Structure 1
Amino acid sequence: MSKLLHISASPRGPRSESLAIATTFLDTVRDTDPGLAIEEYDLWDGTLPAFGPDAAAAKMAVFAGEEPQGAAARAWTAAIETFRRFDAADRYLFSVPMWNAGIPYILKQFIDVVSQPGMVFGFDPATGYTGLLRGKRAAVIYTSAVYGPGRGPGFGSDFQAPYLEDWLRWAGVDDIHTVHFRPNLATADADEGRRLAHSRARDLAKTFATAGPKILHATRPA
């Protein structure tokens, strides 16, 4: 059965523009495909494990063909559990506010936790990386309050969308669709841009719900 996982990177709750647009998207998906399973993953809910010294040691052990031990093994188990939750879906919705020209650190933490050998990627010394998240699709909602296309360098740069979409493609997800809401809140009325972003989210959700991919499962950790 198909499943959509909404990964929310905003801590602002009802005041979040990205979450508001995500709600419009998900409400439309529910209307379009009532049978689709939808899971919400708030990255700020305290369940996302850290990726520190023990997890890094486990990753290097796995790269070397060894079995993590002790604290490293426990950290590796937590990473596997987070990955399984992610991999259980065949469709993803990311709601991503811009923080300091990039993505919120909690989303980077999620990426670091799940991006493991044999899970998100394979590696060959001769050919390099291979993404293992085959047959999946993603929708991404990007918001920013100052940066926007066509504005001068004093309004910032975009390392948000290029970073996340490069990671998705590296992981094997190349069916990516986006919604952008980038008003200059310091000088402009955001209402029209907000209306257009919600309209785009509705339109995207209708096709996103009804045209899912065939899931191709790669080898996963036991």
Structure 2
Amino acid sequence: MPAILHVNASPRAAHSQSLALAETFLDAVAEHAPAVEIITLDLFDRGALPEFGIAAAQAKMAIFTGNDQTEEQRAAWADARAVFDQFANADGYVFNIPMWNAGIPYVLKQWIDIVTQPGWSFGFDPSAGYSGLMAGKKAVAIHTSGVFAPGVPPAFGSDFSVPFFEDWLSFVGVTDADHVRFAPTVLNQDPEQARRAAERELRALVGDFSAHVTLA
């Protein structure tokens, strides 16, 4: 069955603007392609992600150096691999990403650091450099911010979130990606109009996204 992995990077549940937009988009996709399975990963749920600490780092270096992993390292590496397999097995992705301190939430960076491993999501050639191994996937990323918006003066913030995430998707080979903004969500004279504009932009993506995932 074709599958969509929805990665929710907001802890605000029903109060989250980015999550509300993602759910609106996914509801429309489900109507358009009812045979597609939607899997949601709530990154802030306790236990959603394994720690990628000393044991996992040592396990990674053991692979690089051709050494045997200890039992603890094998377990840590298996936990990381399970997170990657969920990512790799999906045919399409929906990310909702609130901006935190001009960047992405720390749990999303943790997830990225877990799944972005050589031989898993990217390869490397000494002559040609890096190459993404996740080609053929399609992604929709929904970005929200409270104060920052494109074109505001520097005193109202900077955006390292969207450029970073665009670059990461491209790095792992997900080059077919759409990015939708709802910004700002706080200093907005007409937030409802801005939200509806984001919803219209998302609705315009439903047909192509559904078709891509269904045919994957």
Instruction: Settle same-fold status: TM greater than 0.5.
Output: yes
Q: Secondary structure at the match of 2:142?
A: strand
Letter in 2 for 1:39: I
Tell me the secondary structure at the aligned position of residue 211 of structure 1. Answer: helix
| CA deviation string 1:4-40 (max 9, x = no partner) | 1100000000000000000110010011111111111
Give 2:29's aligned residue: 29
CA distance, structure 2, for counterparts of residue 213 and residue 7 of structure 1: 19
In the alignment, structure 1 residue 164 sits paired with structure 2 residue 142: no
Q: Distance in 2 between matches of 1:94 and 1:54?
A: 29
Please report how far the alpha carbon of residue 189 of structure 1 lies from its aligned counterpart in structure 2 after TM superposition. 2.7
Q: In the TM superposition, what is the alpha-carbon distance from 1:183 to its structure 2 partner?
A: 2.0
CA contact (8 A) 2:7 2:94 kept: yes
Further displaced range: 84-93 or 188-197? 188-197
CA distance, structure 2, for counterparts of residue 59 and residue 11 of structure 1: 30
1:50-199 counterparts in 2 under 5 A?
50-183=51-184, 185-186=186-187, 188-199=189-200
User: Which residues of structure 1 form unaligned runs of 5+?
Assistant: 216-222
Q: Report Cα offsets for 1:48-99 as digits up to 9, x if no partner.
A: 1111111111111222233422322111010011111111101000000000
Measured after TM superposition, the shift of residue 211 of structure 1 is 3.1
8 Å CA contact 2:138, 2:212 repeated in 1: no
Deviations 1:87-123 (A, max 9, x none): 1101000000000001000000000111112111112
What is aligned with 1:9? 9
CA shift for structure 1 position 170 = 0.5
**CA 195–187 in structure 1, closer or farther in 2 if over 3 Å, else same:** closer
Structure 2 distance, partners of 1:32, 1:214, is: 13
TM-score (norm 2): 0.94
Q: Scaled by the length of structure 1, what TM-score is found?
A: 0.92
Q: Residues 137 and 175 of structure 1 are in contact (CA less than 8 Å); yes or no, is this contact kept in structure 2?
A: yes
The structure with the greater share of residues assigned to helix is 2
What is the CA deviation profile of residues 115-154 of structure 1, one whole-angstrom value per residue up to 9, with x for unaligned ones?
A: 1121111122232222111211110000001010110001
Structure 1 residue 47, shift from structure 2 partner: 2.1
Letter in 2 for 1:204: L
Contact 1:122 1:132 in 2 (8 A): yes
Determine the C-alpha separation between the residues in 2 that align with 1:32 and 1:147: 33
Aligned pair in 2 of structure 1 residues 161, 126: CA closer, same or farther (>3 Å)?
Answer: same
CA RMSD in angstroms comes to: 1.5
Q: Distance in 1 between matches of 2:208 and 2:110?
A: 30
CA contact (8 A) 1:102 1:158 kept: yes
Give 5+ residue unaligned stretches, structure 2: none
